[in-house]
Structure 1
């Protein structure tokens, strides 16, 4: 599996390789997602950028998020409350806190024997996977 870009400059390069235009607004969105290292709604992104004096319109935020997500540059998590966008686009898993709703990125690999068992049960060759776990903090 590929690893996530560690610097936003690597993401810019990935966008260029995909033939994507790197407008000022697109760079602002990417910069924020890489700086925050968390999952944000489009509204959060709009508010944070404008509060920083980096003026961008709602439509520009939504259009850039859609383009970046469609190209596989960022991830989108569907929640009942709406979509959240994150800076990681490499395969990884999530742990959602059932108390706070916070989403934590996890690098978890399933054992090979379990993947083979799933392949045998389903008749599919597993190419990639994502785990979605939920839980609450254990008492100290």
Structure 2
């Protein structure tokens, strides 16, 4: 049985905050944005609503090194994470469903999908002369 959840003002604020960004924000980023709109909203309310939005497929959660990030894109796609500054962007790489089939065949799992995260150093950090270039 699916539980219907009403759309609360707080949840709308959280979703609007995710929609207003294109940088794969953290929960803390969203909390700070929402606090500018409603200074009474708690961190727990924002975090809980992010999980509810994820559970209802209104947003996706990117399990990135350094912590979860949130994304409005609902299609399967890869991400690139900067190991210096933590920036997360969408990778320009099509989703490879054949990888799901290959892993399912090799493991016996009923694979339902995968996520791909590339790591590297973003152009801004490269220009800044970080030593790991």
Could you tell me the TM-score, scaled by structure 2's length?
0.69
> How many angstroms does 1:111 deviate by?
7.2
1:29 to 14, 19, 33: 14
Aligned to 1:8: none
Tell me the SS of whatever aligns to 2:94: coil
Which of 40, 44, 62 is residue 25 of structure 2 equivalent to?
A: 40
1:35, 1:95 → 2: CA distance?
Answer: 20
Residue equivalent to 1:6: none
- State whether structure 2 residue 58 is matched by structure 1 residue 73: yes
Name 1:109's counterpart in structure 2: 95
Name the Cα RMSD after superposition: 2.9
1:95 aligns with 2:106: no
- Where has structure 1 moved over 6 Å in runs of 4 or more? none
- Secondary structure at the aligned position of 2:20 is classed as helix
Extract unaligned runs of 5+ from structure 2: 128-133
TM-score if structure 1 supplies the norm length? 0.66
Provide the residue aligned with 1:3 in structure 2: none
Contact in 2 for aligned 1:74/1:89 (Cα 8 Å): yes
Deviation at 1:124, TM superposition (A): 4.4
Structure 1 stretches lacking a partner, 5+ long: 1-17
Q: Kindly state the Cα deviation for residue 80 of structure 1 after the two structures are TM-superposed.
A: 5.3
Q: How far apart, CA to CA, are the structure 2 residues paired with 1:44 and 1:58?
A: 11
For the residue of structure 1 that corresponds to 2:90, the secondary structure is strand
